[in-house]
Amino acid sequence: MVSFALERKFNMPLDQVWSILSDFANTPAPDDVTVIVEKEGDPDKHGAGLVRQTIVGKDKVRQHLISLNPPHLYTYQIIDHPMMKEYQARVDLKESEGGTLIHYQADIKPAFPLTGKLLCAKCKSGVNSYLDAIERHHGGKVEDPIGGPA
């Protein structure tokens, strides 16, 4: 098992960032990100159970939304990825100096030995690209306190 973490600050209110990041059924940045919902989530559980495909550039990823705790936390996993046996991510949001601090933590079990560091770098880069696209679309200047682009 390998892990990576990153933090980013969006200069937008927490409620606005939550509404963008936790809406797994819609694209957060129409010009850069495509979302295809394969299975709707449970409305009684804030949409948990939803399965989607997210496409950013050439990267395509299937994701399963595990849980939501509005407006501060959600967890999801990547499913059916040829390079990973497991991928679990936790996204925590906190108010910070007029903006929102996003803490992203992922645990990955690679499908092939000795690929963990490379896989972490690729996944971290993908998360940063996703957040960059959201920033471009929503106009909230993003700062990178730690764990910048891989």
83: which 2 tokens?
A: 């390079």
**In this predicted structure, what is the pLDDT of residue 141?**
55
Q: State pLDDT tens for residues 53-91.
A: 998 888 889 999 999 999 999 999 999 888 999 999 999
How far is residue 38's CA from residue 53's CA, in Å, rounded to a whole number?
A: 7
pLDDT lower than 70: segments of the chain:
140-150
**In this predicted structure, what is the pLDDT of residue 59?**
83
The secondary structure element, H or E, covering residue 68 is strand 59-69
Cβ neighbours, 10 Å, residue 82: 6
**In this predicted structure, what is the pLDDT of residue 37?**
97
Domain region containing 75: 2-146
**In this predicted structure, what is the pLDDT of residue 4?**
97
Cβ neighbours, 10 Å, residue 25: 13
Domain count along the chain: 1
CATH number of the domain to which 21 belongs? 3.30.530.20
**In this predicted structure, what is the pLDDT of residue 80?**
86
How far is residue 2's CA from residue 124's CA, in Å, rounded to a whole number?
A: 12
